[in-house]
Amino acid sequence: MSTKQTLLNRLQDRTAIVGIVGLGYVGLPLAVEFAKAGFNVIGVDVSQAKVSQLNAGSSYIPDISTEELQPLVQNGKLRATTSYEELRAADTISICVPTPLRKTKDPDMTYVIEAVEGIASICHDGMLLVLESTTYPGTTDELVVPRLQKDGFIAGENVFIAFSPERIDPGNKKYMVRNTPKVIGGVTPDCTEVTTALYGAAIETIVPVSSSSAAEMVKLLENTFRMVNIGLVNEMALMCDKLGVNVWEVINAAASKPFGFMPFYPGPGLGGHCIPIDPHYLSWKLKTLNYTARFIELASEINTSMPHVVIDKITNALNDACKSVRGSNIVVLGVAYKRDIDDVRESPALDVISLLQHRGANVTFHDPYVSSIRLENEQIMVASAYEDTLLSQADCVVIITDHTVYNWQHIINQAELVIDTRNALAKYKGNARVVSL
């Protein structure tokens, strides 16, 4: 029996052992789905705290409840470790580690390389390796394949290698791992077939493409599409402001068109682990080919300027009240990068708070999901308790993240001045003077 058929049989009868490297927002939900599908799953993470918490059956991310996780751990279907050595028995390994940008906006592949080298040390005939971490087109062929083939493995023959981009949307209650279509691009057709068999056991819809590079490009197109359109609507907000037109009214009216238009909304800047970062992977790759990704560069310029636009709004609103930013008590509501989650990665709130501090403001924040934040100067800021005096004694309240648990009527009644960057108060009337983005 061929190596491929042996692995396909193990995937079919659920005797294959599935490995996951990286147990964060991407890796943990994926591990849970594979365990639910009947596989024994071993997760690896560098964080001993995460490993200990998972092995205790306790979840540390909002998208996976402890009630969902605990039975899988208790039944022995899912366990975690910090050692790659325990993946030696795994038949498949999916890499779900971060791929951040350096300050120079070029890719930092450190985590991916460390994961691949860790796997290479325990790789065996018949193993499937899938990279899920978002990266530039060509990564799988240029970084993953050579590191395995130098040990005598041949992709598509005695090992199988593919790229399948993660599509996790933290906080999304409708589309999660199981019902979000999965794009798969193998290094060879046999690699695609084996990867399809693995993910098809846990995910409803599989979308195979012709190569790993095509799959890598799919994810970058998805997030570049969002980044560019958000950049467009952010610039539209700036233009509407100069024209004295309400941008939210314009967008809502345009969205009534049943074809040819998709609404995007302005905000205080981009945040999260994907949209602010992923398009720059594509831009960097194209620069190596002497091509400038002009839409990406322009959209990035506009989006990264939005925290400064928010500061200007705050400054002008305080000036109208005969107050200066320096010495004013400013409360930021919401520091997560999007509503109803606890993730502050790349959140524009961090920039807004730092900029206000540089101007001498006394800044505090509240977020129902975030207890503390680390600012650019390594300062740790602890969240303030949410109470009437937090709002009533503030010279200005700034809504950065529109968490649904906030009582907007209460906020507009208690505050004196509110800068609303999310249009959260559009339907409410109260005592506060409200300035929209």
Catalytic annotation, residues: 274
CA torsion sign for 61, 63, 67, 69 is negative
CA dihedral angle for residue 20, residue 342, residue 361, residue 410, rounded to 10 degrees: 170
Cα 241 from Cα 228, distance rounded (Å): 20
Query: Helical H runs in 258-320?
Result: 278-287, 294-320
CA distance to 268, 280, 367, 385, per residue, from 432 (Å): 20, 40, 20, 20
Q: DSSP label at 85? A: G
Contact between 135 and 107 under an 8 Å Cβ cutoff? The reply is yes
- 109's tokens: 């592949």
User: What residues contact 201, with CB distance under 8 A and at least 6 apart?
Assistant: 11, 14, 34, 37, 38, 39
Cα 47 from Cα 320, distance rounded (Å): 49
Contact between 144 and 116 under an 8 Å Cβ cutoff? The reply is yes
Query: Helical H runs in 22-65?
Result: 27-36, 48-55
* φ, ψ of residue 203 in degrees (nearest 5): -125, 140
User: What residues contact 364, with CB distance under 8 A and at least 6 apart?
Assistant: 329, 330, 331, 332, 381, 384, 390
Q: DSSP label at 92? A: E
